[in-house]
Amino acid sequence: MKKASEKRSVDMQIISDWIEPGSRILDLGCGRGVMLDFLKQKKSVVGIGVDSDPSKILTGVKKGLTVYQGDIEAFLASFPDGFFDRVLCSRTLPELSQPSKIMNEALRVGRRLTIGFVNQGYWKSRFGMLFGGGRLINEVHPYEWHESRPSNPVSIKEFEEYCTKEKISIARKVYLAGDWKTPCHFRSNFFGGYALYDLAR
């Protein structure tokens, strides 16, 4: 568990560094509100978290966070353009049923969109499938196939190709190695375990 929380803290720290103090944040798939709570304390953000899981919403209420139980797409549709300074989509992307639609909507209601995901192109994932014949289990995707929700994993290469095609500009990005801690500067789609992007239209 210690390892997991350590892994967690690096990407939270990076996202936190990107955020202006006091800004209005929307966290899509906020889970138990760990990130929101962190950003509230570190950057005094005005944050709203959306999640569909009632038990996670309860935890958010317990922490005194502002949380909304419901569907991400319907939530986004209820807000005017540029309402949020930043929309966060941390470890949520592979679970969205229509990622492009949600990214477009997030870029409409938010002036920035911050996305973090586990790189499916990471060498261990490739080798795991090639030699082990199965998926890689990690902190973000900890479950075997029969216990997990439908997931739509994405690689750094695929994601960046999509951004180019859709003319989404990547203002900032960080690749982390397999430990999700050390920066990765070399052949990121192969050696990078985790990727973080700050996007804008």
Partner 1 sequence: MNDAEDNVALDELGELGLVSYVDFVSREPFLYESGSEIPGFSLRYETYGHLNEAKSNVVLISHALTADHHCAGINSLQDRKPGWWNNMIGPGKPIDTNRFFVICSNCLGGCQGSTGPTSINPETGRPYQLEFPFVSIRDMVKAQKRLLDHLGVSKLHAVVGGSMGGMQVLQWAIEYPDLVERILPMATTSRQGSQAIAFNEVGRQAIMQDPEWMQGNYKENVGPRVGLAIARMMAHITYLSDKGMDMKFGRRRRSKNSDTNFSFDVDFEVESYLRYQGQSFINRFDANTYLYFTKALDYFDLEGQYGSLEKAFEGLQSKVLVIGFTSDWLFPPEGNREIVLAMLRAGKDASYAEIALDFGHDSFLVESPDLYELVRAFLDSD
Contacts with partner 1 by CB under 8 A lie at: 46, 48, 54, 57-58, 60-70, 75, 78-80, 83
Compute the least distance from the CB of residue 106 to partner 1, in Å: 16
Rounded Cα distance, 109 and 159, in Å = 21
Compute the least distance from the CB of residue 69 to partner 1, in Å: 5
Which residues does 185 contact at the CB level (< 8 Å), separation at least 6? 175
Run of H or E residues at 200:
strand 194-200
28 vs 184, beta carbon nearer partner 1 = 28
Which residues does 127 contact at the CB level (< 8 Å), separation at least 6? none
Work out the widest C-alpha separation in the chain, in whole angstroms. 49
Rounded Cα distance, 83 and 87, in Å = 10
48 vs 195, beta carbon nearer partner 1 = 48
Compute the least distance from the CB of residue 80 to partner 1, in Å: 7
- Angle between the 34-43 and 2-18 helix axes, to the nearest 10 degrees? 50
30 vs 102, beta carbon nearer partner 1 = 30
Least Cα distance to 89 among 161, 11, 143 occurs for 11
52 vs 152, beta carbon nearer partner 1 = 52
Rounded Cα distance, 94 and 118, in Å = 9
18 vs 83, beta carbon nearer partner 1 = 83
5 vs 78, beta carbon nearer partner 1 = 78
Run of H or E residues at 86:
strand 84-90
Compute the least distance from the CB of residue 74 to partner 1, in Å: 8
Compute the least distance from the CB of residue 33 to partner 1, in Å: 11
Compute the least distance from the CB of residue 79 to partner 1, in Å: 7
